Amino acid sequence: MNIQLSDHFTYRRLLRFVVSPIMMMIFTSLYSVVDGFFVSNFVGKTSFAAVNLIMPIMMGTGSIGFMIGSGGSAIVAKTLGEKKNELANRYFSMLVYAAAVIGITISAVCFIFIRPISIFLGAEGELLENCIIYGRILFVTQPAFMLQNIFQSFFITAQKPDLSLKMSVASGLTNMVLDFIFIAVCQWGIAGAAIATGLGEIIGGIVPVIYFARKNSSLLRLKKARFNAKIFIKTCTNGSSEMVTNLSASIVNILYNFQLMKIAGENGVAAYGVIMYVNFIFMAIFFGYSLGSAPIIGYNYGAGRHEELKNLFQKSLKLIIGTSIVLTITAELFSSPLVKIFTNYDAELYEMTCHGFRLYSLAFLIMGINVWGSSFFTALSDGAVSAAISFLRTLVFQIAAVLFLPIILGIDGIWLAIVVSELLALFVTFAFFVKKRKIYHY
């Protein structure tokens, strides 16, 4: 079935269109999880804690790619909906080139200052040296990671979600296979994990550049383009919610690690790392659906097709709510075997992680609507509302919860902080749904 952005979307057609980005996000999450599995089981708890301390920094800088990809794809999709294909390609090209320059600059700075960054995060001794090794290797390939994040969105806008999936699978399989070779066979330790991840990122970020630079069958192609400050600023504003989501997640993860180091030490950081790895897989479904549905929403908004917007809004809410219920039940039922994958070698760590995951998983019942709601307004080019939802959900509410709940509930307050913040964000999301419905006619 050849599906186009201009089609009327039934449940079947909508699911067919978003299945590739959902699978893509799951694969992306899985190869991050494989990193954690090999480091935890073959290198040790200290190296595993180092990965979890540095990862928020990597994701924080990589969030620039999410911002440009999501914000830019909404603008490009809207421009395509207005039948201005040549202009859409110029916008697309300019944004990719700008992202590459920004990525190289930021990565160079972080590579130089990785030691003081690691010390600031609380690392010392062996933990510090592991952070430096892991961080320096990955900052070499960080520009490719940013491009990979950008192309995840633009492949879908180009009506090639299947290629997005294939790139993620190729990148993920590269990482997984090399993790086994470098860590389990060659015993290169945490350096092996970083090299495997970096090579996977190079495939995910550089191969799409080659594809779009050549003549292809998609709607988009890289061409000569001048920097357009107005469109770049609009892209950053429009995609700021996605950057806020990822950057806030990085800041909050650092705060979680600080609190856990204080309450439970290295075990607490390792336990939170395991919960985050499992969380990645469940969240990938929500992010994948949001990523896949955004270009459809943006196209129909640009084309002024209000009835189709209503159709997409109603169907999406029903699908998200149903999926949220299923994922929450699944997480509660299978918490023990999921956690055991990473912590089977340490009984104390297993008990702490399993208990924490059962509390944390309650958030899956709520967060899907918030994630999609933010993406929905990004697709409508309403970056201010999208950013407000993300900023409150991922930063303000979570910081408040993780700082104050442990005073009352101890370590359980840390695990429940996400539940409280998502519940508060849900009220904000629905308030914007109601307020904006007559403006965008959904």
Q: Residue 432 is which amino acid?
A: F
Cβ-contact 393, 421 below 8 angstroms: yes
Burial string for 349-380 (b: 16+ CB within 10 Å, else e) reads bbebbbbbbbbbbbbbbbbbbbbbbbbbbbbb
Question: What is the Cβ-side half-sphere exposure of residue 365, based on CA atoms within 13 angstroms?
Answer: 11
Cβ-contact 140, 112 below 8 angstroms: no
Percent of all residues in the chain with a pLDDT value above 90, rounded to a whole number? 38
| CA 24/CA 280 separation, integer angstroms | 12
Which position has the token pair 């920097």? 227
Question: What is the Cβ-side half-sphere exposure of residue 107, based on CA atoms within 13 angstroms?
Answer: 24
Structure tokens at 263: 């309450």
- Which pLDDT belongs to residue 428? 95
Burial string for 60-86 (b: 16+ CB within 10 Å, else e) reads bbbbbbbbbbbbbbbbbbbbbbeeeee
Query: Following DSSP, what letter does each residue of 174-222 receive, concatenated?
Result: HHHHHHIIIIIIS--HHHHHHHHHHHHHHHHHHHHHHHHHS--SSS---
In degrees and rounded to multiples of 5, residue 73 shows phi and psi of -65, -35
| CA 370/CA 390 separation, integer angstroms | 8
More confident: 202 or 279: 202
pLDDT bracket for residue 295 (50, 70, 90): confident
pLDDT bracket for residue 390 (50, 70, 90): confident
Quote the mean pLDDT of the chain.
87
Assign 33 to helix, strand or coil: helix
- Which pLDDT belongs to residue 106? 94
Query: Following DSSP, what letter does each residue of 290-316 receive, concatenated?
Result: HHHHHHHHHHHHHHT-HHHHHHHHHHH
DSSP structure class, residue 9: -
Q: Residue 334 is which amino acid?
A: F
Q: What are 299-347's pLDDT values in tens digits?
A: 888 788 888 889 999 999 999 999 999 999 999 998 888 888 877 777 8
pLDDT bracket for residue 244 (50, 70, 90): low
- Which pLDDT belongs to residue 108? 95
| CA 283/CA 363 separation, integer angstroms | 11
Assign 381 to helix, strand or coil: coil
Mean pLDDT of 196-218: 92
Q: Is the dihedral of CA 17, 327, 333, 268 positive or negative?
A: positive
Mean pLDDT of 411-428: 93
| CA 416/CA 362 separation, integer angstroms | 8
Assign 380 to helix, strand or coil: coil
245: which residues sit within 8 A by CB, 6+ positions away? 63, 66, 371, 374, 390, 393, 394
Q: What are 52-72's pLDDT values in tens digits?
A: 788 878 888 888 888 898 888
Q: Residue 365 is which amino acid?
A: L
